[in-house]
């Protein structure tokens, strides 16, 4: 009986998110992919930077949430700023959402080794609801949904990020087009992000430690993450993350070459789904290669592993 009640609560929670409009995607390795939600999180260099992330949530649940994202960006001297794209596919049960955005970011030097970057993104969200496989206790319920609906809406986001050699602080807003009160089944609600991280160098021989805090909210739903990563000799990293009331994550990563890195994260649920799924898996691959700039661009603020 307890198991059935838990599953019912999970279904109800997922339905509530659909009723209030789609919640933003989530990645455990967000510290390497802030550009997915903050257009200001670019690297000022002469390289093209790209990452691919795939996440499968709640192993063991049929039609469990699944998300894939492709992010790419580069700095172009002639434009005095960075440009990039986000392609994000998010699936939750019989609901699919595809987000495609392009963005521009403009960095401003505010100190010898510090800068403040502003970014703006624009694109579309294509959301599909498939009710053809839904089953109801009363199949003749006049409110039952058996069709297939498709919604195409514009999407805008804004972000700012402050950088110095060791400190990063960022703020971003996604889905500027609609407030939380104005959101509905075909409009994603506005989301707010606030994050910060600080790199403590040489805490141990060849070991750097970086704590990270992330606050994410759409007002009706709030998420708070505490993360600590350790980097060894610019080759390996590993660490843990605690998502308040939801999950504990473990992460590891490795540089295959100086320009290609891979990462893996495993989430152990501690919320309502604990004991009823096999956790969540996430893999990431990231690369950098020579860009359009003919001459070397000296980064205004160096980024470790970015």
The tens digit of pLDDT for each residue in 228-270 reads: 999 999 899 999 999 988 899 999 999 999 899 999 999 998 8
Q: Which of 115, 31, 33 is nearest to 81 (CA)?
A: 115
Q: Which of 124, 36, 42 is nearest to 83 (CA)?
A: 42
- Residue spans per domain, the chain: 2-290
CB burial readout 233-246, b (16+ within 10 A) else e: eeeebbbebebeeb
Model confidence, pTM: 0.84
Burial of 266 (0-12, 13-18, 19+ CB in 10 A): middle
Q: Using only C-alpha atoms, what is the Rg of the chain?
A: 20
- The CATH H-level superfamily of 2-290 is monomeric porin ompg (2.40.160.40)
The tens digit of pLDDT for each residue in 4-60 reads: 333 334 433 443 433 344 578 889 999 999 999 999 999 888 899 999 999 998 777
């Amino acid at each position: 009986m307890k198991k059935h009640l838990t599953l019912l609560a999970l279904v109800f929670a997922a339905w509530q998110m659909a009723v209030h409009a789609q919640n933003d995607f989530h990645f455990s390795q967000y510290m390497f992919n802030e550009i997915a939600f903050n257009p200001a999180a670019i690297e000022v260099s002469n390289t093209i930077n790209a990452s691919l992330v795939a996440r499968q949530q709640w192993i063991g649940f049929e039609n469990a949430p699944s998300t894939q994202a492709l992010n790419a960006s580069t700095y172009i001297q002639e434009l005095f700023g960075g440009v990039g794209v986000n392609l994000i596919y998010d699936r939750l049960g019989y609901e699919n959402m595809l987000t495609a955005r392009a963005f521009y970011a403009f960095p401003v030097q505010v100190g010898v080794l510090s800068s403040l970057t502003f970014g703006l993104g624009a694109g579309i969200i294509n959301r599909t609801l498939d009710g053809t496989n839904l089953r109801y206790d009363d199949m003749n319920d006049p409110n039952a949904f058996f069709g297939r609906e498709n919604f195409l809406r514009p999407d805008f986001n804004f972000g700012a990020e402050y950088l110095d050699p060791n400190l990063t602080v960022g703020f971003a807003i996604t889905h500027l087009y609609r407030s939380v009160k104005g959101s509905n089944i075909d409009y994603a609600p506005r989301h707010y992000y606030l994050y910060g991280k600080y790199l403590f160098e040489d805490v141990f021989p060849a070991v750097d430690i970086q704590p990270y805090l992330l606050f994410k909210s759409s007002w009706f739903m709030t998420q708070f993450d505490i993360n600590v990563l350790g980097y060894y000799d610019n080759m390996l990293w590993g660490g843990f993350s605690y998502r308040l009331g939801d999950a504990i994550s473990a992460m590891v990563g490795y540089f295959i070459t100086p320009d290609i890195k891979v990462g893996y994260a495993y989430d152990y649920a501690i919320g309502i789904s604990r004991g009823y799924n096999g956790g969540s898996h996430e893999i990431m691959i990231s690369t950098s290669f020579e860009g359009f700039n003919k001459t070397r661009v000296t980064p205004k603020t160096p980024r470790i592993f970015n």
